Structure 1
C-alpha cells in the first residue's frame, strides 16, 4: 500500500512532478506502449524486477534497460541473444558498472549512484555437471544482486559422488543451498540429506532420450524422499531469488 501523503506533499511543494508522482502511486513506469517496469517489486519482497530478453526485440530490451537505469539505477537482463547483447552494449557504454556472463547470457548494469543491498545471508550454488553451470550462474547472480554472499561449487554430481563429499564444508555454513542438476537430477536429494540449511532443487534441461530435456530431473526432485523445494526446469532466476529470500530472513 503506497503512502500517498508524502507524495502529495512533494507535489504541492514542487519537489515532485505530477508524472513522477503518478508513477509512484501506480508502482510502475511505462516504456512506450510495450512494457511496464515494476519499480516497487524489490521494496515489496526484496526481489528485483528482472528483464527477460527472450521473446523481446533487441530495441525493446534496450529501451526497458534504459528506463530501469533511470528509475532504479540498476537493471538485470537474462536470456540475452547476440543481437540483444549488441543493443545492450550501447546502453552499457553510459553506465559505470557492467557485469556480463557469456555462459549464462545474463547482464547486470549499474549507475554510480546505485547502492547494492547488503544482507548477512549466504547462499551456496552447486551443480551436478559442467553443463549445468549456465542455469546455476543465473541463480547465483540473482542471489548476489539481492545482497547475499554467494559461493559456487561446480561439477560434483553423483556419477563421482566423492567429489561432493570433498566439498561438503563449502555448503555446511550456508543459509540456503541451490543444487542444479540435469539428467536424473539426483544430486539435490543427496545434498538435502546432508545439509543443515534449506535446499532448492533446480532441474536443468540436460539429458536425452526418455525423460530428457530436464523432465526426469524435475520428476526426480519432486519425488525426493529428503525435504527440498523444487523450481521449474531451467528456472535459475526463480531459484536464486527464493534462495536469497530464505537466506536473509
Structure 2
C-alpha cells in the first residue's frame, strides 16, 4: 500500500528537522502535494486531505495513456484509485504497470480493492435497483461507497412491477442509514422505498426505458416530484455521485454528527 499524504508530510518534516533535506526541497514537495501539473492534467493530491477521498478519474474523453499517468500520480499519495466511465482497453494498459486493480465490466470502472477486512467496514448503506438493466449504474454507486470504507448491501431487480420483491427485504431496508435507489422507466422506486423507511433515500434516474422516458428525463422528473419526503436526486446515470454522497452521510453518522 502506498503512503498517505499525512505520513509523507510527517516524514518530510522529520527529515528536515534532522537536517537530511533542504528547506527548498520541503517547499517543493509540499507544493507538489497541493496539486501536480503534468501538462494535460493538474492532479489534485490535496483533495485527499480536504475530503478524505482522492481525486476520481472520469474516464470518458481521456486516452488510456492519460488515465494511466493520472492514476500513477494519484497512487503516489493514496492507496485508493477509482476510474469511472472507462474501458477494458484502459484497464488492460493500467494492469501492466499497476498491481492490485480490478475492472467492473457492468459499471465500466477501474478500482483498487480495499486492504481492509469486511468486519472493519461501516454498515448502513444499501443500494437497490429496479431492474437488471439498472445494475451497471447501481454497481457504480456500490463500488464508490465501498471504497469509502462501507460494507454495502445490494438488493437488485426489485422494481414496482413486482413490489412484493421489495417488501421481502423490509428488514434490510429498515437497518439502513441511507439508501440509494436506482431506477429507469417511470422511476417510481425511490418514492416507494422512502415510504417504507426513516432514512434518506438518494434517487438515481437511469437512461433505461422506451421512447417517452426521454433517456432518463421521465424518471428524473418523477423522483424530483416524489410525494414521499426524504428523497433527494442526483443526475441521470450518476451512480458515482450517489455512492459518494451516501458515503459522506454514513461517515457523518459514524462520527456522531447531524446530517
Residue in structure 2 matched with residue 75 of structure 1 by the alignment:
81
1:49 aligned to 55, 71, 76, which one? 55
- Shift of the 40–60 alpha-carbon distance from structure 1 to 2, 3 Å rule, reads same
- Shift of the 148–110 alpha-carbon distance from structure 1 to 2, 3 Å rule, reads closer
CA contact under 8 A between 1:54 and 1:79: conserved in structure 2?
yes
Residue in structure 2 matched with residue 104 of structure 1 by the alignment:
107
- Give the whole-Å Cα distance in 2 for the aligned partners of 1:187 and 1:28: 41
- Give the whole-Å Cα distance in 2 for the aligned partners of 1:133 and 1:234: 11
CA RMSD of aligned residues (A): 2.5
Which structure: greater strand fraction?
1
- Give the whole-Å Cα distance in 2 for the aligned partners of 1:116 and 1:214: 37
1:154 aligned to 130, 153, 156, which one? 156
SS of the residue corresponding to residue 65 of structure 2 reads: helix
Which structure: greater helix fraction?
2
Residue in structure 2 matched with residue 36 of structure 1 by the alignment:
42
- Give the whole-Å Cα distance in 1 for the aligned partners of 2:87 and 2:122: 34
Residue in structure 2 matched with residue 21 of structure 1 by the alignment:
30
Residue in structure 1 matched with residue 209 of structure 2 by the alignment:
207
TM-score for both structures, normalised by structure 1:
0.87
Q: CA deviation at 1:53?
A: 0.8
The number of residues matched between the two structures is: 238
Question: Structure 1, unaligned stretches of length 5 or more?
Answer: none
1:84 aligned to 84, 90, 111, which one? 90
Q: CA deviation at 1:217?
A: 0.6
TM-score for both structures, normalised by structure 2:
0.83
- Give the whole-Å Cα distance in 2 for the aligned partners of 1:239 and 1:119: 19
